[in-house]
Chains A and B, each alone.
Chain A
Amino acid sequence: MTPGLAALKHLVVLMMENRSFDHMLGALNGRNAAANGGIGIDGLTGSETNPDVNGNTVRVESKAQYQGQLDPDPDHHFAAVNKQIFDGGTAPTMQGFVKSYWDQQHNVNQSKKIMYYFTPDKVPVITNLALEYAVFNRWFSSIPGPTLCNRAFAHYGTSFGHVSMELFYAGKQYKSIYERLKAANSTARVYYFDTASSSLEVPNLLTNQPEFFGTFNDFIQDCGNDRLPAYSFIEPNYTDHADSSGATWIASDQHPDHHVREGERFIATIYNAIRRNPVLWPKTAILLVYDEHGGIYDHVPPPAVIPDGFVAQPAATGTGEEFHFDRLGVRVPAILISPWIAKGTVVNGRVFEHASIPATVTDWQIGLLTDRSPREKNSETFLDLLRLTAMRTDCIEFNLQ
C-alpha cells in the first residue's frame, strides 16, 4: 500500500452538471505529455468538425461563454444523444451534435454553438486542477442519456434499467453506496446545497435520514472541524434562489444556462476548504466529475462495456430499439485531486465511468462485496493514483475575489 493510500481517510466526490470533456478541457490538448510517457491530455486539435443540417462543415471554436449561449438547454435525452453519437448510422462517429441541436430551434447559427469550447483563462479552476493533479482521458458518463440515470450509477453502480429522469426507489437488489458503508460501520453523507436546491438523490430521503444528508454549510463546518465522513458526495446549487434570510444564491451546477464561473467558484470553495485545513488535506482525496455531457460536443466515441443485466425498452429509449446498457455515454471531465498524486498526471489507457465511484469506495472501505451490478464489478477503480512516496508541498490554492 502506498503512503498516500494508507493516509487516506476521506474521499469527497463533487458531481457537476452537463458539460463535456472537450467543452471544458479540450483546449489543454497535448498538455502534460512529457510527464506521461508522451501522451498528454486528449483534447481538441482544432480540426474537429461536425456537419450542419445543410451539409456545411462546422469546426470547433474556442468561443464558449459563461452564460447565454446554450439557451435552449441542448437536448441530452437518450434519443438525442444517440443522434449525437451515431448521426443516424451504426458507427459512433460523433458527427451528429450540430444536427441534434438544430432539431430544437431549426436555427443553423445557434446549432453551431454546440461545438464551442472554453479557453483555459476563462475556466482557471478546472484548468489548474487538471494540470496540477490527475485528469482522466477516458471518463465517460454511464449512460448516453440525462442526469438522474447517470447519477444513479454514482450512487448504486447501476440505474436499474432506467435511461431517463423518472423516479426509482431504493430497496432494489443492489444497495446504494451509503447503505453499504453504513452496514460496514463506515460513514457516508450526501451534502446538498440547501433545501431550496434540495437533493437529486430523493430515494435516499425516504430511508436512513437524516444521517445520510447534510447541507453545504454542514460540509464547510465538517471540513473545519475535521468531521468529514469517510465518503462525501456533494451536490451543487441547482437553482438561482433567495434563502429565508433574503440572501440570493446563484446556481453553481454549471448546467446550461447557469453561469459557469459560479460553478468554478463552487469547485474552488470546496478545494480550499480541504486544502487550507492542514489536518484534512493530507488524508483527503477529491474527485471532480460531471454527470453527463449535456448535449455538448466531444470528439471521443464512447466505448462498449459489459452489459448491466437490465434492458431499457424502446418506449423508454425513444429510438425504437432496446438498450442493454452495453455501451457508455459521452466523455466528461474528471479530475482526481490529492497531495499524493504526481503533478500533471494524465490517466491513459483505462476506461472509467460513474460506476467507478461506488466500485472504488467499496474496494477501499468494505473490500470484497459480491452483491453489486455487473457494470460496477467490472469498473476501474482509481485510488491507485495516490502513488507518490512523499506528500507534495507545492499544491495550488485559489483566491476567490
Chain B
Amino acid sequence: MAKTISVGKTPKSAYQPERKVSGLLDAQVQNVRQVIYRKFGEKMGGRPRTEEAASKFLAKATARLQVIPPADLRVPAAVALPVPPAYTPPQKPQKPRKPRRRTAAKKKRRSTRAARGKRR
C-alpha cells in the first residue's frame, strides 16, 4: 500500500515581490541583456532592483529571444481568435465557352480523312 505524505501550504506572506534581487537574479538579468545585445544589437535599459522588476525584465527579454512564444505567452484557448477555415485558392470565374463552329473547310477536311480511312 502506497503511503501518502501531506505537504502543507506555503503562507501567503512568503510572496515578497519587492524583495531585493539576489546576486543570482542580477547576474541572470545582466547575462540576458548581453545576449540580446549580441544577438539583435538592442540595448535593454534599466537595472531591476526588485524581484518583480527583474521578472518583468526577464519576461520581456525571454520573449524576445524565443522564436516561438512559450506556452505562457500564447493566447489562451478560451480567448483565442476563431481559427479561419483551411485555405483554398480562390476559384476563377469561368467564362462560358462558346461552342466551336466548324468551318466549311474543316468539315471538308474531316470528311476527306474519313474517306481516306475507308479506302485503307
Please tell me if A251 contacts chain B, counting CB pairs below 8 Å. yes
Report the interface size class on chain A: 35 or more
Please tell me if B111 contacts chain A, counting CB pairs below 8 Å. no
Please tell me if B16 contacts chain A, counting CB pairs below 8 Å. yes
Q: Mark B28-70, 1 if CB is under 8 A from A, else 0.
A: 1011101100010000000000011011101101110111101
Closest Cβ of chain B to A157, distance in Å, is: 20
Given contacts A240-B51, A394-B2, A395-B2, contact A195 B7 (CB under 8 A): no
Q: Mark A376-401, 1 if CB is under 8 A from B, else 0.
A: 00000000000000000111111111
Q: Is the CB of A396 within 8 A of B10?
A: no
Report the interface size class on chain B: 35 or more
Please tell me if A261 contacts chain B, counting CB pairs below 8 Å. yes
Q: Is the CB of A195 within 8 A of B72?
A: yes
Name the segment of B18-26, B80-88, B93-101, B112-120 touching the other chain: B18-26
Residues of A contacting B: mostly = loop
Q: Is the CB of B35 within 8 A of A124?
A: no
In A342-401, which residues have CB < 8 Å from any B CB? 393-401
Q: When the two chains form the complex, which single residue of B2, B35, B55, B66 contacts A202, counting CB atoms closer than 8 Å?
A: B35
Please tell me if B9 contacts chain A, counting CB pairs below 8 Å. yes
Q: Is the CB of A214 within 8 A of B71?
A: yes
Given contacts A148-B27, A202-B35, contact A196 B59 (CB under 8 A): yes
Q: Mark A169-203, 1 if CB is under 8 A from B, else 0.
A: 00000000000000000000000001111111011
Binding site for A on B (CB under 8 A): 1-11, 14-17, 19, 22-25, 27-28, 30-32, 34-35, 39, 51-52, 54-56, 58-59, 61-63, 65-68, 70-73
Could you list some 29 contacts between A and B, CB below 8 A? Answer: A125-B5, A125-B7, A166-B31, A167-B31, A194-B70, A195-B63, A197-B55, A198-B28, A198-B59, A198-B62, A202-B35, A205-B66, A206-B65, A210-B68, A214-B70, A217-B71, A217-B72, A239-B52, A239-B58, A240-B14, A240-B16, A241-B55, A242-B55, A259-B14, A261-B7, A265-B7, A398-B6, A399-B4, A401-B7
